[in-house]
Amino acid sequence: MTDSGHLIALAYDARAAEYIGVGGTLSQMDPRDVATIRAWRDSTDGALRDAGCGPGHWTAFLAEGARDVRGIDLSREFVASARRSHPGIPFETGSFHDLSVEDGALGGILAWYSLIHTPPAQVPAVLREFARALRPGGSLLVGFFDGEPGEPFAHAVTIAYSWSAEALGILLRDAGFEVVASERRGRAPGEMSARPHGSLIARRS
């Protein structure tokens, strides 16, 4: 685990119960996000990995239909909660800097707001690791705060960074992906954040 990863883990461990209370179930998620992730899930085949799974609600959603899914997160508290809430789904503590799978083992990776705390200089290495783990034609779905690329801001838990679809798309292409879909929208009342939302779907070349 990187030094920054260790600090992120400690920050989320300290506030895990609070976070789970406001955003730890599928019913608390925006229906548009549910629709996006459902459509992406149903367009993939093979094993899936929820990279930065948090409390595990998205992992459980991906696992519907007996899909082969595993969740990974830096926070031990999140992983413990996910195991309690979603028995039968494998969760592990770890970093997406090292997914610990063979080359091309995965059909899809979900990184839903899990790259937001990664220092911008480290993002290319993470995307290369995602590309290594995905089979050719495998799919990556990334959710992020849309804004000035690499600009830090005061997140409720620990420092986070915004991205634009254009800037993140360049990094994805450099890592061996083809961007196939992009979304940007403002927020609806009651969402966890007021910052604009962005997402990208990229296919492993």
pLDDT higher than 90, residue 63: yes
pLDDT given for residue 3 in this prediction: 52
This prediction has a pTM of 0.92
The end-to-end CA distance of the chain, in Å, is 28
Phi, psi of 189, deg, nearest 5: -55, 135
Quote the percentage of the chain above a pLDDT of 90.
Answer: 80
pLDDT given for residue 105 in this prediction: 98
Between CA 37 and CA 43, with CA 40 as vertex, the angle to 5 degrees is 150
Q: What is the pLDDT of residues 129-145, one digit of tens each?
A: 999 999 999 999 999 99
Query: Which of 9-13, 41-45, 109-113 shows the lowest mean pLDDT across its residues?
Result: 9-13
Q: Could you tell me if 179 and 195 are in contact, meaning their C-beta atoms sit under 8 angstroms apart?
A: no
Q: What is the mean pLDDT of the chain?
A: 92
pLDDT given for residue 155 in this prediction: 80
Q: What is the pLDDT of residues 24-46, one digit of tens each?
A: 889 999 999 999 999 999 999 99
pLDDT higher than 90, residue 89: yes
Question: Which is more confident, 169 or 24?
Answer: 169
pLDDT given for residue 156 in this prediction: 72
Question: Which is more confident, 12 or 184?
Answer: 184
The DSSP secondary structure of 120-164, one letter per residue, reads GGGHHHHHHHHHHHEEEEEEEEEEEEBSSTT-EE--SSS-EE-B-
